Structure 1
């Protein structure tokens, strides 16, 4: 049995879709942990076992992990967390105990690039994620941490600005090339590992996308796919902080985001070489055609 956390989240929902397509042929039963089962499509609810509640709750985990061989683990975002440790390691601690107690053999978790770099201990959300990986690894079960760069899908947060103003904004230097990955490719890697019973031990699995791109490269590709000029605007870290505080996000989360973005601008994601094993197929151009363009067209129609 495979247990999926965050089955309605950006990555968790795609992992679930992948497994529903392939797991039956492997003889795998799928169970999900969901706070609100009604958010799962009815067709999905008919094909999975649903445990209702938070995967930060020990009682919920006891029910969910009973009979489980593998778990897909994602910490849900908590923008009001009092500390980053509370959001990542403290939230995960009951699960780290429950994995061993219930005989879970393999866990695949969503994490980040940066381990072993000079910035790893001051990269905000990334630092907290790596500390969570260490906690899970110490539980004694097999663990694969998916080490991800920035997500292509984060661009969707700026659909309105891209559509109405032709502006794509970020804090990164405009000409610094870096990896980016589509969440659908992260989900595909996770599903493959969850179905593979051959691996043991602890390791990090880089998921790098097919190419390094700068912000100017991304703006150019968006322009070509959308058929309209998109330009990149670099915002300051102070602007980013002010924007997030204005949205009501908590200070620990805001500090963690700013620290992460500063670390990325200093090369946090550049420490792992792209290999055939670490690369994934979806190019940014293909992602723009498949995901961004329909999102922009839908926003324009509303």
Structure 2
């Protein structure tokens, strides 16, 4: 069996939409919430004939990837996160680019010679790579009205990926992929008033309205750090709220802390838009941290390490 393994956010889902529109294939879908990225370890290698892996860190999947390659299973891997050492294997075809201004869907778009570029534009907007999204849209003469819709679509699909478990999400990522791949053109979602776009739009607006109750721990000309409660709506908005704050204050770093049940925080961190680097360097100084240069996170930051985290990020960008 072929396995499609992908991140449950906009970039992962819409990268796979592009690939399967261009190259239809029966596959087993393996995905999860945004932070569920150690996905290759979940595969039963005896069932695998080949694997496509999208938008999950090779560094975090090193053992699973090594096992697949040792078993001579072909793997096509596209990503823009930290890689660690990339295996040298005839069974691995990889497209890896760590540039802060690209994402997996943009890399897939290039791989497919822009066959489904509208989906790539939506994904780039969803990953808060607005300049890259606009550049691609301009290249293909996409109207401003259509860009506005694609931006909203990308944001809503990305928003849907954040949660502690699948139960926090409005739509499981695998189900959302199956729905979206049924549309050859994402603009068709706008015309279908019963489409998933409008379902996610309503949910997004309600959850973002709740974010007004966030607690502010730190706010200066370098960084802003806010805290959200241990609620499903808060986990859903943690990533898109960080992007929204970054767009409002592009010279500042932003961290959104969401309370966990065990006296720790889940951290969603954004480097300044004007200086899209270092987010991974900051977060990987903490045990459960990871990510990429422009955006990273920490799965469990102990509450007693909050002051250290704030000191670390402000020192990095000072």
TM-score range, shorter chain: 0.3 to 0.5
Give the TM-score taking structure 2 as reference length. Answer: 0.34
- TM-score, normalized by length of structure 1? 0.36
